[in-house]
Amino acid sequence: MWQRLRQTISRYRKWVVPRARDLLERWTANREKGRENTRRTAARARFWADLREGQREAEVHSSRQNP
């Protein structure tokens, strides 16, 4: 029984291991891509918030100089 099980495992190992490795690599790549997208979205939000804040400061400064 054990010998037959071992033969079956060794036969399918050559097929299963590379595919499992490919799946793991794809899953890891997708996780990294998701993290990168999250960082990019946060950076974009910070940029626009800083830009709007700068515009407000410029408007306040300009209204003080031109009564």
pLDDT recorded at residue 52: 94
* Secondary structure letter of residue 67 according to DSSP: -
Q: What is the pLDDT of residues 5-53, one digit of tens each?
A: 888 878 878 777 888 888 888 888 888 877 888 888 899 999 999 999 9
Q: Which tokens in the block code for residue 50?
A: 């800083």
Q: Which tokens in the block code for residue 25?
A: 């690599």
Q: 44-51: long-range contacts (C-beta < 8 A, 24 or more apart)?
A: none
pTM (global) more than 0.95? no
Amino acid at 39: R
Domain extents in the chain: 16-67
